[in-house]
Amino acid sequence: MSAAKIPDISKYLTRLPHIWCSGCGNGIVVGAMLRSLEKLNLEQSQVAVVSGIGCSGRAGTYLNLCGFQPTHGRALAFATGVKLGNPKLHVIVLAGDGDTLSIGGNHFIHACRRNIDVTLVLFNNSSYGMTGGQHAPTTPEGYKTTTTPYGNIDGNFDAVDLAKSSGATYIARSTIYHASQLSDLIAKGISHKGFSVIEAMTICPTQYGRMNKLGGAVEMMETLRKDAVSAKKAAGMDTDALKEKLLTGELYVKEGATEYTEAVQNVIAKAQKRRAQ
Amino acid sequence: MKRNDSIRVWTGNDACAEGAIAAGVNFFAGYPITPASEISEVLARRLPEEGRTFVQMEDEIASLSSVVGASFTGMKAMTATSGPGFSLMQENLGFAIEAEIPCVIVDVQRVGPASGVATHPSQGDIMQARWGTHGDHPIIALAPYSVRETYDLTIRAVNLAEKYRSPVLLLSDAVIGHMSENMVVPASDEIEIINRTKPKVSPEEYKPYLAVGGEVPPMASYGDGYIWHTTGIIHDETGFPCTSNPNMIDFQVRRLHDKIAFNRDDIVTVDMRQMDDAEIAVVAMGSVARSAVKAVKMARDRGIKAGLIRLVTIWPFPDEEIIQYTSQLKAFVVPELNLGQIQGQLRQTVEGRTKIVGVNRIDSKLITPEQILESIQNEVKA
Ligand SMILES: Cc1ncc(C[n+]2csc(CCOP(=O)(O)OP(=O)(O)O)c2C)c(N)n1
């Protein structure tokens, strides 16, 4: 791809420099998200970004878009109100794995269940970055964090499985190594009518990486490259070969399911019809 | 046709729901809890009839989250709950105060602490209403004492929220919420409706928190063409964090307080009865005020100069309105369904100038007029 084809995202950015550590993957996820907006050619004032609390949630602060950073874990519940309040807005949630799957786990499964037309970009760095590298519901067993100095004993969630069993209708995963795929998937998620989850595998070399001797940013990105297997390719592989792999690409798409703001409109139509009788 | 013929027999919770509709509430999110559930149930039926949105969320945290989210898009948004749910809302209440997002939270109080006694009244949330969310913050809270006043104050709560870009609390209780009274429903042209001020400047010039003193910064709705950002982090007039600027932090947090304090005369309402020559003042709110009205009458029938100070606005506390009586009074009698939450605030207000005695019940039962009368009589003799 020639450099000229990379969309210019400077109009979406404001208030830089950011606070992220060197080697942090968050900027790549944000860049991928902004390029998806540019590709879709959305009216800038018709996008609303609700962000989580965490390093990743800080992303909203750098965007020249409507948006707010409310309370830890609640971004999806706030976003539900924004979307119901103005269904024409493209509502995007940017939040971490701790924010979304731990303190906000209940809101996550219920947003999936309602199938509301909101796009969640889930920054998964396998840990809590902002508070100093504690373990998250995504930390694999045995891994070290500041609150699992002897290795993590808690089981972990797979956000994709959780989203699927909870009713999300567009689910995809990519990594910061695969930035252009990530951007395409976010664009598809935004275009999809219904709740979409795009899990963005990212890295925290400063804390999680260092504590688990995973190398610097380059080595951690290299690991993401090696671990990722596209869903298409995986279809031809046996389960043993897939054991330690990270499935990427579109992992579940269901078209035609009733979207929540439409369902609310249907209720209104029903109530008004009954009242008129 | 005007609906001046429309007399309704409503419960307080019915009146709250209908008041919300009259006030223009077009987004409601709630989670079931006794004794507030009927507000959700009525609105689940009524809001869609009016073409407006009702949603039941997964919990009270999410209820207030979605209410605040909807308000960002210009909706008049409300939720209703009781003590345990009100506790869950405290963190997001703080966000709404800091981000200055209009919304109404109805708390139909029940006996606490914890699950307490679900079906019985209490006034145990007066201090939770004031200080439940962390940090120094202002708050507005109103308390109705009848079905009709529940209707009126629900409208007023919505109006004040819009006017001051602030959450407003309506403190009802299990008696007010569940009792039935008849009331005349006012015609729509008799109802004052206040809408939030929108920016007059261009989107390029707009700053969402540009205000000084008691001013209320105009609020653009998401989708209106104004691009603006905010956060629960202390922010400057642009809505962006200012955490490395102590002067700005100080200025912005004080501005939140000034916004309410400078306008307190517009917000504070007290129902004063027979206070001109009173020697004993009963200070009461909500369901307890109903017994207080009767007690004052019984005292007057016995030749005692008693009066009533009925608090309609609880927060900000009506201190100026009360202080003017301190020198003429022998005592304040403060009946309340808690162990002295209003009384404690009154002590701060009165600063020892006048004697204060409480009449308190926490056994889930109401305070009777006779109990209050007895206290009045004791103070006359004292
Ligand atoms: C109610 C509440 N509890 C705890 C915190 C502290 N806190 C801030 S960010 C965070 C975790 C962030 O982790 P994650 O969501 O994974 O985002 P990351 O920083 O890794 O991007 C926590 C626990 C808070 N802000 N609010």
Which tens digit of pLDDT belongs to each residue from B12-26?
A: 999 999 999 999 999
What is the position in ligand 1's atom list of the atom closest to the CA of A123? Answer: 21
The answer to the question of residue A194 being in a domain is yes
Contact between B251 and B267 (Cβ < 8 Å):
no
Whether residue A96 has its Cβ less than 6 Å from ligand 1: yes
Cα separations in angstroms, B156 against B82, B163, B218, B303: 20, 10, 20, 37
Using DSSP's 3-state secondary structure scheme, residue B40 falls into helix
Per-residue pLDDT tens over the stretch B26-56: 999 999 999 999 999 999 999 999 999 999 9
Q: Angle at Cα A87 formed by Cα A161 and Cα A109, nearest 5°?
A: 20
Whether residue A99 has its Cβ less than 6 Å from ligand 1: yes
CA distance B278 to B376: 11
In chain A the first and final C-alpha atoms are separated, in Å, by 61
The answer to the question of residue A149 being in a domain is yes
The model's confidence at residue B4, banded by pLDDT at 50, 70 and 90, is low
Contact between B252 and B242 (Cβ < 8 Å):
yes
Superfamily of domain B7-190: Thiamin diphosphate (ThDP)-binding fold, Pyr/PP domains (3.40.50.970)
Contact between B68 and A80 (Cβ < 8 Å):
no
The answer to the question of residue A64 being in a domain is yes
For residues B328-355, average pLDDT: 98
Per-residue pLDDT tens over the stretch B127-159: 999 999 999 999 999 999 999 999 999 999 999
pLDDT at residue number A4: 52
Cα separations in angstroms, B186 against B26, B148, B190: 19, 10, 6
The answer to the question of residue A254 being in a domain is yes
Per-residue pLDDT tens over the stretch A124-177: 999 999 999 999 999 999 999 999 999 999 999 999 999 999 999 999 999 999
The answer to the question of residue A3 being in a domain is no
Mean pLDDT, chain B, whole residue set: 97
Domain ranges of chain B: 7-190, 270-381
User: Closest-CA residue in chain B for A14?
Assistant: B240
pLDDT at residue number B382: 87
pLDDT at residue number B159: 99
Backbone angles phi, psi at B349, to 5 degrees: -70, -45
pLDDT at residue number B1: 47
CATH number 3.40.50.300 is the correct assignment for the domain at B270-381: no
Give how far A187 is from chain B: nearest CA, Å: 20
For residues B60-89, average pLDDT: 98
Domain that holds residue A69: 10-276
Q: Which of B59, B67, B231, B243 to probe the A interface (max A CBs under 10 A)? A: B231
Whether residue A123 has its Cβ less than 6 Å from ligand 1: yes
**Closest C-alpha residue for ligand 1 atom 10:** A54
The answer to the question of residue A2 being in a domain is no
pLDDT at residue number A3: 52
Ligand 1 center to A163 CA (angstroms): 21
Name residue B45's amino acid.
R
For residues B204-222, average pLDDT: 97
- Selecting from A66, A270, A272 the residue whose C-beta is nearest the C-beta of B222 gives A66
Give how far A40 is from chain B: nearest CA, Å: 18
Per-residue pLDDT tens over the stretch B274-297: 999 999 999 999 999 999 999 999
Which residues in chain A land under pLDDT 70?
A: 1-4
- H-type alpha helices, chain A: 26-40, 75-85, 97-98, 105-114, 159-166, 179-191, 210-211, 217-227, 231-234, 239-242, 260-276
CA distance B248 to B255: 10
The answer to the question of residue A226 being in a domain is yes
**Closest C-alpha residue for ligand 1 atom 11:** A128
Give the CATH number, domain containing residue A128.
3.40.50.970
pTM (2 d.p.): 0.97
Whether residue A119 has its Cβ less than 6 Å from ligand 1: no
